[in-house]
Amino acid sequence: MIVGKLQELVLELKVGDVMTADPITLGPGDRMSDLRDLLRAHHFSGLPVVDDKQLVGIVSVEDFIKFLGNGKDDCAVEEEMTGVVQTLYADDSLTHAIGRFESSGLGRFPVVERSGGALVGIVTKGDLIRGMLRRLEAEFHEEEIHRYRASHLFEDVEADATALTLRYDVAGQDFKRAGEASSRLKRTLSHLGIRPDVARRVAIGCYEAEMNLVIFTDGGTIDAQVRPASIVVEVRDEGPGIDDLEKALQPGYSTAADWVRELGFGAGMGLPNIRKMGDEFDIRSTAGKGTVLTVSFDTSEAGDETD
């Protein structure tokens, strides 16, 4: 029998790992207009009703719509809430929770203490999925760090300064091959023993720069200079250049044609993303001449290990 990763996760994760703890609540005497304000402000689908820490009901968007439909005046939440509430415990497994979601058709469960019944959280289907993705991501990251051997590339080199240049040629307008240079660079950095989190930032930055070469130019080059403590990536093209750099750097600004956007590119987040990925960022452009983008990445162990 093959037990998949997700199967393992739903057994291993508890409701307490994925729930929203200390949720916003209403009291039984709060008004339906208070509920409306909370739904509006937070986009919740439902809120627990709590009296002296004890869960006494749950009131949802559906309850609010029903209330509106009846044309009643503003009233206490307890008149409209569902009073008998199905609950989960923080130490229930996700397998159990998924079963309960399936059999009840409910969209959310309050989470209460086993003894005493005090409310401790609320869990929705979205929380289950987010929780599993978060754990997958964390385990993947751990595994990557474990697999990677501290950079050995420069260990046997005796020199006062060492640099390895990796060059990639990128063809303009070739959407089929767009992204190839960045994935080749990413693979190479990983083979060279570059820290996985740094390699990922380099790859994301390069991918965005490569897309700009493909979309906006007749092609260009990506040069990565790998040194013992840094990687400097230079992306160069010979036109058309950028008229207004300040504008181009703004999130959301794009001159991409409609058909390019239909391919899923041109959200205007490329340059801002590149800037965010690098430790240093510089862009120079002359209209009619071309653009040179330089991004530096610190690869020393002292750099932050967090994500």
Looking at the Cβ atoms of 106 and 292, the one nearer to ligand ADP is 292
Does 212 bind Mg ion (CB under 5 A)? Our answer is: yes
Closest approach, Cβ 227 to ligand ADP, in A, equals: 25
Does 285 bind Mg ion (CB under 5 A)? Our answer is: no
Looking at the Cβ atoms of 132 and 202, the one nearer to ligand ADP is 202
Amino acid letter at 50?
V
Looking at the Cβ atoms of 168 and 216, the one nearer to ligand ADP is 216
Does 270 bind Mg ion (CB under 5 A)? Our answer is: yes
Q: How is the chain classified by DSSP, letter by letter?
A: ----HHHHHHHH-BHHHHSEES---B-TTSBHHHHHHHHHHH--SEEEEEETTEEEEEEEHHHHHHHHHTTPPS-BGGGTSB-S---EETTSBHHHHHHHHHHH--SEEEEE-TTT-BEEEEEEHHHHHHHHHHHHHHHHHHHHHHHPPP--TTTT--SSS--EEEEEEEETT-TTTTTHHHHHHHHHHHHTT--HHHHHHHHHHHHHHHHHHHHHSSEEEEEEEEETTEEEEEEEE-SS--S-HHHHTSTT-----HHHHHTT---S-HHHHHHHHSSEEEEEEETTTEEEEEEEEE-STTS----
Closest approach, Cβ 196 to ligand ADP, in A, equals: 25
Looking at the Cβ atoms of 124 and 254, the one nearer to ligand ADP is 254
The footprint of ligand ADP (CB under 6 A) covers 208, 212-213, 215-217, 237, 240, 242, 248, 253-256, 266-272, 291
* Distance in angstroms (rounded) separating the CA atoms of residues 256 and 237: 17
Closest approach, Cβ 179 to ligand ADP, in A, equals: 13
Closest approach, Cβ 251 to ligand ADP, in A, equals: 8
Closest approach, Cβ 87 to ligand ADP, in A, equals: 46
Closest approach, Cβ 283 to Mg ion, in A, equals: 12
Number of other residues whose CB lies within 10 A of the CB of residue 285: 19
Q: Which partner, Mg ion, ligand ADP, none, binds residue 254 by CB below 5 to 8 Å per kind? A: ligand ADP
Applying CB under 5 A, the span of 86-94, 96-104, 137-145, 209-217 interacting with Mg ion comes to: 209-217
Residue closest to ligand ADP when measured from CB atoms: 270
Looking at the Cβ atoms of 74 and 244, the one nearer to ligand ADP is 244
Looking at the Cβ atoms of 87 and 212, the one nearer to ligand ADP is 212
Q: Which partner, ligand ADP, Mg ion, none, binds residue 216 by CB below 5 to 8 Å per kind? A: ligand ADP
Binding site for Mg ion (CB under 5 A): 211-212, 270
